[in-house]
């Protein structure tokens, strides 16, 4: 766990330090800047665009965050960059823009969002963006087909499994990902404790972070069964 101790040193702001999309929206440069100013690590989400670029955006559909119809994979990076997020001055940023904005001030954990048939090259493009970045960064995904590409296309980048569930078939699927070089786990706090998380922490020495922590009860569960939280909607220091 020593090599990844930076991953669990500080609370991780879920999609940046936003205000639940009132005035400072998720996955925007404003939210990332606010997290960096407070010293929080940052979690963000990325998708592949129609022209093979990587943008920072959570949903596969555009409507909730931009008010327009369609999907991220149908638009170019320039077209997405012209869209306003939540009617604010913030636009949909590329991963390069996000990295430049954070500038190594705090760690970044990037979740890769797979869309079957529309994500070919996503791992490779993210790895390319990270080359030469002067800061601590890790990648992770729910999508097992992307995780299987991590070792080949993003060698040397700390890689993790994003997961949830407490049913036997879900847990067994998570165990199968241990064969693909992951070095940490991000687990849904609502499904802790469980035998998979206990195994990777106690037997493999892997750090485990939780998502998404929104109240005191989830903070307590996190630090009883994991190493750090991915939070939103409150100031962790005030809840400590």
Catalytic residue list: 14, 58
**Separation CA 43–CA 169 (nearest Å):** 27
**Separation CA 218–CA 106 (nearest Å):** 23
Please answer whether residues 84 and 94 qualify as being in contact, where contact means their C-beta atoms are separated by less than 8 angstroms.
no
Q: How far is CA 200 from CA 9, 40, 156, 184, in A?
A: 19, 25, 20, 8
Please answer whether residues 187 and 168 qualify as being in contact, where contact means their C-beta atoms are separated by less than 8 angstroms.
no
What is the number of other CB atoms lying within 10 angstroms of the CB of residue 22?
A: 8
**Separation CA 141–CA 166 (nearest Å):** 18
């Amino acid at each position: 766990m020593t090599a990844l101790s930076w991953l669990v040193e500080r609370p991780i702001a879920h999609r940046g330090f936003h205000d639940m999309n009132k005035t400072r929206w998720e996955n925007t440069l404003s939210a990332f800047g606010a997290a960096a100013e407070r010293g929080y690590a940052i979690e963000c989400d990325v998708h592949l665009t129609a022209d093979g670029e990587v943008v920072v955006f959570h949903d596969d559909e555009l409507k909730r965050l931009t008010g327009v119809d369609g999907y991220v994979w149908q638009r170019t990076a320039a077209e997405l960059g012209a869209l306003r997020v939540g009617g604010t001055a913030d636009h949909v940023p590329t991963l390069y823009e996000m990295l430049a904005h954070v500038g190594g001030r705090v760690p970044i954990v990037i979740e890769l969002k797979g869309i079957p048939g529309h994500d070919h090259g996503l791992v490779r493009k993210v790895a390319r963006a990270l080359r030469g970045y002067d800061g601590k960064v890790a990648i992770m995904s729910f999508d097992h087909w992307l995780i299987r590409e991590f070792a080949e296309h993003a060698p040397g980048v700390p890689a993790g499994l994003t997961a949830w569930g407490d049913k036997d078939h879900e847990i067994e699927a998570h165990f199968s990902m241990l064969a693909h070089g992951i070095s940490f786990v991000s687990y849904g706090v609502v499904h802790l404790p469980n035998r998979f998380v206990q195994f990777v922490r106690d037997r493999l020495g892997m750090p485990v972070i939780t998502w998404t922590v929104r109240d005191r009860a989830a903070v307590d569960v996190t630090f009883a069964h994991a190493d750090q939280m991915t939070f939103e909607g409150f100031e962790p220091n005030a809840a400590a």
